């Protein structure tokens, strides 16, 4: 049964809540195989250095859902970067963990828990996809702070959202100091305007797509740059998206990475450019 999310106001001691219940609530748990491929491609690309540099290559898939498929995929994909990676799937619903246990192997395990992350060590990556979306916006800061407190020095917490089959994806990258960036990844041919991604924004931003907010201005600028690049559509959407990104960069938007990522239908912008107003 899915619960109404409770407020997350305090961080438990490192290592979890001894004798207490996990921090968080049961979510719908809907998922599909290969749904997280766009994020995983980013983790094994521009962010792979974090895993390679880690003394302890511990990765957490937080709230993997009713099926462990995406946790297994994460383990297999990250193993190509670091053969000794350890992926721990965490779910607050014990039945989901019991169902996943038969898939455990060296480097892959499943545990009952929540945002407190009841696994020893400091993870270098924590992935929480379509989890915070089911909480109140007012809960986000406390949840981010709780998970940030568990990260390794080079660790990264990913708070993301995507559609049912992973064709429209967004995520916020957060390190121990706070949010760093917002990334958008979309399937070419699956949208008319880039701003259609608004319905898949992370919880911290989804209610902020209104005039006067930075994320609204960013999406409006994306649409304009996309429309201005319409003449390149004859050469394919990849060329048009790349031109849009270059126009945004030239216009002063702090885009990261570059053409090698843009050609994938992806872009990353500095958090300060889209952060919610106070």
When pLDDT is averaged across residues 111-138 and rounded to a whole number, the result is 95
For residue 268, what are its two tokens?
Answer: 């990353």
**For strand 86-91 and strand 125-129, is the pairing parallel, antiparallel, or unpaired?**
unpaired
Model pLDDT, residue 14: 43
Q: What percent of the chain has pLDDT over 70?
A: 92
When pLDDT is averaged across residues 255-271 and rounded to a whole number, the result is 97
For helices 237-250 and 214-228, give the axis angle rounded to 10 degrees: 130
In whole angstroms, give the CA distance from residue 122 to residue 149: 9
Asked if 96 and 111 count as a contact pair (C-beta separation under 8 A), the reply is no
Is the pLDDT confidence value at 186 over 70?
Answer: yes
**For strand 266-270 and strand 178-186, is the pairing parallel, antiparallel, or unpaired?**
antiparallel
pLDDT digits (tens, 9 = 90+) for 72-108: 999 999 999 999 999 999 999 999 999 999 999 999 9
When pLDDT is averaged across residues 62-78 and rounded to a whole number, the result is 96
Q: What percent of the chain has pLDDT over 90?
A: 87
Nearest to 73 by CA among 129, 115, 15: 129
pLDDT digits (tens, 9 = 90+) for 198-253: 999 999 999 999 999 999 999 999 999 999 999 999 999 999 999 999 999 999 99
Is the pLDDT confidence value at 19 over 70?
Answer: no
Mean pLDDT, the chain, rounded, equals 92
Nearest to 111 by CA among 77, 64, 56: 64
CA distances from 184 to 12, 22, 115, 207 (A): 32, 31, 24, 17
In whole angstroms, give the CA distance from residue 277 to residue 242: 29
Using pLDDT thresholds of 50, 70 and 90, give the confidence band for residue 26.
Answer: confident
For residue 158, what are its two tokens?
Answer: 């990913």
Is the pLDDT confidence value at 12 over 60?
Answer: no
**For strand 86-91 and strand 58-62, is the pairing parallel, antiparallel, or unpaired?**
parallel
1-176: CATH topology is Rossmann fold (3.40.50)
**For strand 178-186 and strand 168-175, is the pairing parallel, antiparallel, or unpaired?**
antiparallel
Asked if 254 and 183 count as a contact pair (C-beta separation under 8 A), the reply is no
For the chain, what are the domain ranges? 1-176
């Amino acid at each position: 049964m899915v619960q109404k999310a409770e407020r997350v106001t305090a961080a438990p001691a490192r290592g979890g809540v001894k004798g207490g219940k996990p921090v968080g609530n049961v979510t719908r748990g809907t998922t599909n195989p290969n749904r997280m491929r766009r994020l995983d491609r980013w983790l094994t690309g521009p962010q792979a250095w974090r895993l390679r540099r880690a003394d302890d290559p511990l990765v957490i898939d937080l709230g993997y859902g009713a099926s462990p498929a995406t946790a297994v995929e994460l383990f297999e994909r990250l193993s190509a970067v670091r053969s000794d990676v350890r992926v721990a799937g965490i779910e607050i619903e014990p039945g989901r963990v019991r169902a996943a246990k038969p898939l455990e192997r060296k480097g892959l395990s499943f545990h009952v828990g929540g945002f407190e992350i009841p696994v020893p060590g400091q993870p270098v990556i924590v992935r929480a996809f379509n989890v915070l979306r089911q909480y109140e916006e007012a809960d986000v800061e406390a949840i981010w702070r709780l998970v940030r407190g568990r990260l390794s020095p080079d660790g990264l917490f990913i708070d993301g959202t995507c559609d049912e089959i992973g064709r429209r994806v967004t995520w916020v990258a957060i390190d121990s100091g706070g949010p760093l960036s917002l990334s958008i990844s979309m399937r070419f041919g699956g949208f008319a305007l880039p701003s259609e991604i608004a319905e898949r924004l992370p919880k911290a931003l989804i209610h902020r797509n209104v005039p006067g907010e930075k994320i609204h201005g960013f999406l409006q600028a994306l649409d304009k740059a996309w429309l201005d690049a319409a003449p390149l559509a004859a050469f394919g959407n990849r060329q048009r998206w790349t031109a849009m990104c270059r126009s945004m960069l030239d216009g002063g938007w702090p885009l990261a990475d570059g053409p090698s990522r843009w050609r994938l239908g992806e872009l990353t912008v500095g958090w300060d450019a889209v952060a919610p107003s106070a």
